[in-house]
Amino acid sequence: MGGLVDDARSRVDAGPAIAELSALLETRLSTAQAVREHHGKDLTYHAGAAPDAVAFPNSTEEVAAIVRICASHKTPIVPYGTGTSLEGHIAALHGGVCIDLGGMNAVLDVNGEDMDCRVQAGVTRKALNDYLRDSGLFFPIDPGADASLGGMAATRASGTNAVRYGTMRENVLGLTVVTADGRVIRTGGRARKSSAGYDLTRLFVGSEGTLGVITELQLRLYGIPEAITAAVCSFDNLEGAVNTVIAVIQSGIPVARIELLDEVQMEAINRYSGLDYPVLPTLFFEFHGTEAGAREQAERAGELAQEFGGGDFRWAAQQEDRNRLWQARHDAYHACKAMRPGSEAWATDVCVPISRLADCIVETRRDIDESNLIAPIVGHVGDGNFHLVYLVDPEDRDELKRAEAHNERMVMRALAMGGTCTGEHGIGYGKIDFLQAEQGEAVSLMRSIKTALDPDNIMNPGKILRV
Amino acid sequence: MGGLVDDARSRVDAGPAIAELSALLETRLSTAQAVREHHGKDLTYHAGAAPDAVAFPNSTEEVAAIVRICASHKTPIVPYGTGTSLEGHIAALHGGVCIDLGGMNAVLDVNGEDMDCRVQAGVTRKALNDYLRDSGLFFPIDPGADASLGGMAATRASGTNAVRYGTMRENVLGLTVVTADGRVIRTGGRARKSSAGYDLTRLFVGSEGTLGVITELQLRLYGIPEAITAAVCSFDNLEGAVNTVIAVIQSGIPVARIELLDEVQMEAINRYSGLDYPVLPTLFFEFHGTEAGAREQAERAGELAQEFGGGDFRWAAQQEDRNRLWQARHDAYHACKAMRPGSEAWATDVCVPISRLADCIVETRRDIDESNLIAPIVGHVGDGNFHLVYLVDPEDRDELKRAEAHNERMVMRALAMGGTCTGEHGIGYGKIDFLQAEQGEAVSLMRSIKTALDPDNIMNPGKILRV
């Protein structure tokens, strides 16, 4: 677990492409083992696979030239952002060339009046927000990791405040994409809405590099709210917490974040971050608005929490307090790992209609305990999306099998409840069979599209679909 | 103009398919001339074309059976909702069979806790909202016409409150679609977000029946706001109105509707609806929220309007007053037609980044006047989307040519400003060349997808793309 596989039988000979790419890129093509291995493994438990070479282009035109060379030799291509994906997205299962877009990190244009911007794919979300700092604008999508915006689009990322601002699906206005045969196309545009033809932007968002390489993005921005306030509230049981969430959403309170941490996760962050929250199912809230508006939202949410057995709201109106609160939430992953030193963390997620969320989490928690696993649960519960992190001993094959079996049962439970096998992590190669279980015959259409746009199957082969 | 064309050379012989369909559907297949003509012409100025027969299915399975029969004879298929599209979407340019989904008008499921519902494609937006009346929920998308929800998805419709609630793109969670070879697939699901594979839902939304027939939709619903208030404000000039809109959007006021009517349109609705608004560029606002929230939004918007030279807000807090106000807005089309009795109305739309909206409208207005045309302008200005309606004498070929030339200049102006050739009307066959001008090489990918999913080009052929 967690290592690199190198199955020579499944690899294409990348030699001829590498020779041409070397001439094009010179020192910006690497075949050093450490570089290759670094680029073949994401933050997943799934085994990685090193590419044969890593290219570091500087421009869309250079990406197009790289793709044309690879296409002429039918050499696989794996686009790479920051390597923070979670389902084996960047494993070079058939070898080939990794295209690291990290050097394409320029913010190209910010339009304050239109509240949009254009960035190269390698710009990370934090770099963009640093750049925007004095503009009064921000880009809200926050998957936790400081991922590249190209990678976030490719995996349809979201995170804690998707309940208010949407996911990458809603916030990408247009893309520049290098197609599998090395053409450069632009999808979408700067208009806020359009009925002009097929929605290629949304097709590439979430396509995980299997249809083309995203090199530039036009993104929506938002005004930094006048007031931000946050609060924490504990519940005696999970149902009370989830019913509070349902009531908040139904009553139209435009909550910016609403996160659920179960008692196991709360214990983990208390220990890791030196906090003293009750070890109970807990909601973290954040409200954005005018001073009066944010206050009203918070009061209403507090009233609803009381109705469903919540304790007092612990407020964090000051930025410093809020940062501490959200840092604790963001540290959940590290806090988990610290619970069991030497363990590997394997993150997975599902998403269900919110009416089924309490059932799904309660059954999943019982199943964790019965399976003798350690796996804290955190959730972007306003969307019905929750994660768990299996803390497993990489040497314990039996434990790993129990985790895999649990993951499968959890996904199937979510599907039976009308949900999806992944709310925000994506398919990679870890959830291909679950995609088939979820989407059924629709997968055949995905395969037709893949084959039409990438007939030689060179774009991140083995991800999302088996062709 | 406005009539039906019947170019026998471009028609496929639908006889064999019709014979089989008759056996399947009996009286629910019509070849009556009046029925055929009614189904071949939408609300556009573009010439219609009658299909050879009209089928009235009752179920998804029946649609699939119809499609399989048509596919076996390579007979074209045109899906039909309410016939209220605006760019010739339903003209049976190559003959074939129109599938009228109006009989599939059942609301299948409403989930209050999850705020979603499932409907058959023939349910209209008003019928759905009537059905929801006692649930505290509503479906917000409002393109003016009481269109079918299947048709609204197929054309990626939006309307007056897209600025707050998004378009059909954001509000369709999943679809049931009959593919071009007669399979039934389900896209998306009930989860609020998903990273599971290609976004087929968004691919079918806006595909105008060219990739498959939408037979069912899973839709997002919203809680009816506690308070709704509306207001009207006049400006001495267009720039002041548009700058107010920019300021409102930038300051994050979650305005539910913000509509611009130019002085020509205001004169039309004054006359038509017996109102006495100043004949000046005018903004219509609507605010949704809590009592306090809606009031605060309205006050802030009012302050901003004052800064940019707006007159006093005329309030419409009572439902009766609001209905009168929005009825006047919705009657804009009829008010236009009444300005010039005997004229035909030809509606077109573009959408630009909001920073360019004032320039685009001012130049378009000047061009209208210089072209000696009558064409009031109304706009969903929060999105940068505006419409105009050419009032033309159907017998005056020169006037028609001037309108066509003006439309082309307006679209090209919008594209030069970073906009789109249509914000919400779609491509149909009226804007195919403009789609090419806007999207360039990306159209070749659309064509690849079309060919992959509909290799015999039987699904609404001649729309969006020329294959």
Question: Cα–Cα distance between A55 and A66 in angstroms, integer?
Answer: 8
Quick one: average pLDDT of B316-344? 85
Instruction: Say yes or no for a CB contact (<8 Å) between B194 and A170.
Output: no
Q: Let me know whether A140 and A176 are in one domain.
A: yes
CB count in 10 Å sphere of residue B394: 15
pLDDT digits (tens, 9 = 90+) for A277-317: 999 999 999 999 999 999 999 999 999 999 999 998 888 87
In this prediction, residue A312 carries a pLDDT of 86
- Beta partners for A316? A230
A–B: how many Cβ contacts below 8 A? 278
Q: Let me know whether A251 and A148 are in one domain.
A: no
Q: Which amino acid is at B434?
A: F
Q: Examine residue B459 and state whether it is found in any structural domain, yes or no.
A: no
- In the block, tokens 């009307």 appear at B425
Instruction: Say yes or no for a CB contact (<8 Å) between B112 and A170.
Output: no
The answer to whether the CB of A348 falls within 8 A of the CB of A390 is yes
The answer to whether the CB of B197 falls within 8 A of the CB of A443 is yes
Q: In chain B, pLDDT over 70 holds for what percent of residues?
A: 98
The answer to whether the CB of A337 falls within 8 A of the CB of A347 is no
Q: In chain A, pLDDT over 90 holds for what percent of residues?
A: 85
R_g over Cα of chain B: 22
Instruction: Say yes or no for a CB contact (<8 Å) between B198 and A446.
Output: yes
Q: Examine residue B67 and state whether it is found in any structural domain, yes or no.
A: yes
Q: Which residue of A has its CA nearest to B184?
A: A441
Instruction: Say yes or no for a CB contact (<8 Å) between A197 and B439.
Output: yes
Domain end position, chosen among A206, A223, A240: A223
Say whether pLDDT at A9 is over 70. no
Q: Examine residue A438 and state whether it is found in any structural domain, yes or no.
A: no
Q: Which of B110, B175, B192 to mutate to test the interface with A (most CBs of A within 10 A)?
A: B192
- Scanning A2-61 for CB atoms below 8 A from B yields none
What mean pLDDT value characterizes chain B? 94
Give one word for B386, left, alpha or beta, with left for phi > 0 and alpha for psi -120 to 50: beta
In this prediction, residue B228 carries a pLDDT of 92
- In the block, tokens 């064409």 appear at B375
In degrees and rounded to multiples of 5, residue B242 shows phi and psi of -70, -40
Across the interface, which of A223, A293, A453 has its CB nearest the CB of B448?
A453
Say whether pLDDT at B3 is over 70. no
Across the interface, which of B155, B207, B420 has its CB nearest the CB of A189?
B420
Q: Let me know whether B329 and B251 are in one domain.
A: yes
Say whether pLDDT at A144 is over 80. yes
In this prediction, residue A111 carries a pLDDT of 96
Q: Let me know whether A299 and A187 are in one domain.
A: no
Q: Let me know whether B16 and B98 are in one domain.
A: yes
Q: In chain A, pLDDT over 70 holds for what percent of residues?
A: 98
Contact list in A for residue B351 (CB cut-off 8 A) is: 191-194
Q: Examine residue B452 and state whether it is found in any structural domain, yes or no.
A: no
Instruction: Say yes or no for a CB contact (<8 Å) between A193 and B113.
Output: no
Per the structure, the count of domains in chain B is 4
The answer to whether the CB of B30 falls within 8 A of the CB of B51 is no
The answer to whether the CB of B219 falls within 8 A of the CB of B231 is no
Across the interface, which of B192, B290, B424 has its CB nearest the CB of A195?
B424
Burial string for A179-218 (b: 16+ CB within 10 Å, else e) reads bbbbbbbbbbbbbbbbbbbbbbbbbbbbbbbbbbbbbbbb
Crossing angle, helix B357-370 and helix B238-250, to 10 degrees? 160
Q: How far is A342 from chain B (nearest CA, A)?
A: 30
- What is the sign, positive or negative, of the torsion defined by CA atoms of B196, B197, B198, B204? negative
Q: Say if A440 is an interface residue toward chain B (CB within 8 Å).
A: yes
pLDDT digits (tens, 9 = 90+) for A445-454: 999 999 999 9
pLDDT digits (tens, 9 = 90+) for B51-82: 999 999 999 999 999 999 999 999 999 999 99
In this prediction, residue A262 carries a pLDDT of 92
Question: Cα–Cα distance between A202 and A153 in angstroms, integer?
Answer: 9
pLDDT digits (tens, 9 = 90+) for A31-77: 999 999 999 998 888 899 999 999 999 999 999 999 999 999 999 99
Closest CA to A211 of B183, B170, B199: B199
Q: Examine residue A286 and state whether it is found in any structural domain, yes or no.
A: yes
- Scanning A295-354 for CB atoms below 8 A from B yields 296, 300, 351-354
Crossing angle, helix A291-307 and helix A238-250, to 10 degrees? 140
SS3 of chain A: the string is CCCECCCHHHCCCCHHHHHHHHHHHHHHEECCHHHHHHCCCCCCCCCECCCCEEECCCCHHHHHHHHHHHHHCCCCEEEECCCCCCCCCCCCCCCCEEEEHHHCCCEEEEECCCCEEEEECCCEHHHHHHHCHHHCEECCCCCCCCCEHHHHHHCCCCCCCHHHHCCHHHHEEEEEEEECCCCEEEEECCCCCCCCCCCHHHHHCCCCCCCEEEEEEEEECEECCCEEEEEEEEECCHHHHHHHHHHHHHCCCCCCEEEEECHHHHHHHHHHHCCCCCCCCEEEEEEEECHHHHHHHHHHHHHHHHHCCECCCEEECCHHHHHHHHHHHHCHHHHHHHHCCCCEEEEEEEECCHHHHHHHHHHHHHHHHHCCCCCCEEEEHHHCEEEEEEEECCCCHHHHHHHHHHHHHHHHHHHHCCCECCCCCCCCCCCHHHHHHHHCCHHHHHHHHHHHHCCCCCECCCCCCCC
Across the interface, which of A190, A196, A449 has its CB nearest the CB of B418?
A190
Q: Let me know whether B287 and B392 are in one domain.
A: no
Instruction: Say yes or no for a CB contact (<8 Å) between A427 and B195.
Output: yes
The answer to whether the CB of A381 falls within 8 A of the CB of A259 is yes
Instruction: Say yes or no for a CB contact (<8 Å) between B427 and A196.
Output: yes
Q: How far is B452 from chain A (nearest CA, A)?
A: 6
Across the interface, which of A155, A203, A422 has its CB nearest the CB of B198?
A203
In this prediction, residue B331 carries a pLDDT of 84
Q: How far is A395 from chain B (nearest CA, A)?
A: 31
- In the block, tokens 């309007």 appear at B305
What mean pLDDT value characterizes chain A? 94
Across the interface, which of A167, A192, A223 has its CB nearest the CB of B250?
A223
Quick one: average pLDDT of A173-180? 98
pLDDT digits (tens, 9 = 90+) for B346-381: 999 999 999 999 999 999 999 999 999 999 999 999
Q: Examine residue A1 and state whether it is found in any structural domain, yes or no.
A: no
Say whether pLDDT at B305 is over 50. yes
Contact list in B for residue A294 (CB cut-off 8 A) is: none
Q: How far is B271 from chain A (nearest CA, A)?
A: 32
ipTM value, please give it.
0.96
Q: Examine residue A167 and state whether it is found in any structural domain, yes or no.
A: yes
| CATH of residue A63 | 3.30.43.10
- Beta partners for B116? B111, B220
Contact list in B for residue A425 (CB cut-off 8 A) is: 195
Say whether pLDDT at A11 is over 90. no
Instruction: Say yes or no for a CB contact (<8 Å) between B422 and A194.
Output: yes
Instruction: Say yes or no for a CB contact (<8 Å) between A111 and B438.
Output: no
Q: Say if A422 is an interface residue toward chain B (CB within 8 Å).
A: yes
Confidence of residue A83 (pLDDT cuts 50, 70, 90): very high
The answer to whether the CB of A287 falls within 8 A of the CB of A256 is yes
Q: Let me know whether B355 and B322 are in one domain.
A: no
Contact list in A for residue B169 (CB cut-off 8 A) is: 193, 199, 202
Q: Which residue of A has its CA nearest to B156?
A: A195
Crossing angle, helix A357-370 and helix A238-250, to 10 degrees? 160
Q: Let me know whether B116 and B98 are in one domain.
A: no
Across the interface, which of B206, B384, B420 has its CB nearest the CB of A198?
B206
Q: Count how many residues are written for chain A.
A: 467
Confidence of residue B315 (pLDDT cuts 50, 70, 90): confident
Q: Say if A467 is an interface residue toward chain B (CB within 8 Å).
A: no
In this prediction, residue A1 carries a pLDDT of 47
Q: Let me know whether A286 and A363 are in one domain.
A: no
Q: Which residue of A has its CA nearest to B352?
A: A191
Domain end position, chosen among A166, A199, A223: A223
- Scanning B65-124 for CB atoms below 8 A from A yields 111-116
Q: Say if A132 is an interface residue toward chain B (CB within 8 Å).
A: no
Q: Let me know whether A213 and A246 are in one domain.
A: no
Task: Check residues B8 and B345 and name the one with the higher pLDDT.
Answer: B345
Tell me whether residue B309 is exposed, middle or buried, using C-beta atoms within 10 angstroms of its C-beta: 0 to 12, 13 to 18, 19 or more. Answer: middle
Instruction: Say yes or no for a CB contact (<8 Å) between B441 and A183.
Output: yes
In this prediction, residue A439 carries a pLDDT of 98
Domain end position, chosen among B190, B223, B256: B223
| CATH of residue B257 | 3.30.70.2190
Across the interface, which of A193, A423, A427 has its CB nearest the CB of B197?
A427
Instruction: Say yes or no for a CB contact (<8 Å) between A449 and B198.
Output: yes
Contact list in B for residue A111 (CB cut-off 8 A) is: 353, 355
Contact list in B for residue A449 (CB cut-off 8 A) is: 198, 203, 449, 452-453
- Beta partners for A389? A347
| CATH of residue B118 | 3.30.465.10
Cα-based angle B192, A444, A465 (whole degrees, multiple of 5) = 75
Say whether pLDDT at B327 is over 90. no
| Residue B409 belongs to domain spanning | 340-424
Q: How far is B333 from chain A (nearest CA, A)?
A: 20
The answer to whether the CB of A149 falls within 8 A of the CB of A141 is no
Across the interface, which of B190, B250, B442 has its CB nearest the CB of A186?
B442
In this prediction, residue A381 carries a pLDDT of 92
pLDDT digits (tens, 9 = 90+) for A247-276: 999 888 999 999 999 999 999 999 998 889
SS3 of chain B: the string is CCCECCCHHHCCCCHHHHHHHHHHHHHHEECCHHHHHHCCCCCCCCCECCCCEEECCCCHHHHHHHHHHHHHCCCCEEEECCCCCCCCCCCCCCCCEEEEHHHCCCEEEEECCCCEEEEECCCEHHHHHHHCHHHCEECCCCCCCCCEHHHHHHCCCCCCCHHHHCCHHHHEEEEEEEECCCCEEEEECCCCCCCCCCCHHHHHCCCCCCCEEEEEEEEECEECCCEEEEEEEEECCHHHHHHHHHHHHHCCCCCCEEEEECHHHHHHHHHHHCCCCCCCCEEEEEEEECHHHHHHHHHHHHHHHHHCCECCCEEECCHHHHHHHHHHHHCHHHHHHHHCCCCEEEEEEEECCHHHHHHHHHHHHHHHHHCCCCCCEEEEHHHCEEEEEEEECCCCHHHHHHHHHHHHHHHHHHHHCCCECCCCCCCCCCCHHHHHHHHCCHHHHHHHHHHHHCCCCCECCCCCCCC
Pairing of strands A77-80, A97-100: parallel
Instruction: Say yes or no for a CB contact (<8 Å) between A385 and B191.
Output: yes
Instruction: Say yes or no for a CB contact (<8 Å) between A223 and B449.
Output: no
In this prediction, residue B1 carries a pLDDT of 47
Q: Say if A194 is an interface residue toward chain B (CB within 8 Å).
A: yes
pLDDT digits (tens, 9 = 90+) for B31-49: 999 999 999 998 888 899 9
- Beta partners for A80? A100
Q: Say if A407 is an interface residue toward chain B (CB within 8 Å).
A: no
The answer to whether the CB of B66 falls within 8 A of the CB of B409 is no
Question: Cα–Cα distance between A219 and A120 in angstroms, integer?
Answer: 11
Question: Cα–Cα distance between A436 and A442 in angstroms, integer?
Answer: 8
Q: Examine residue A147 and state whether it is found in any structural domain, yes or no.
A: yes
Q: Let me know whether B351 and B392 are in one domain.
A: yes
Crossing angle, helix A319-330 and helix A332-339, to 10 degrees? 50
Contact list in B for residue A198 (CB cut-off 8 A) is: 203, 206-207, 211, 446, 449-450, 464
Question: Cα–Cα distance between B31 and B16 in angstroms, integer?
Answer: 13
Q: Which of A111, A192, A204, A349 to mutate to test the interface with B (most CBs of B within 10 A)?
A: A192
The answer to whether the CB of B15 falls within 8 A of the CB of B95 is no
Q: Let me know whether B115 and B201 are in one domain.
A: yes
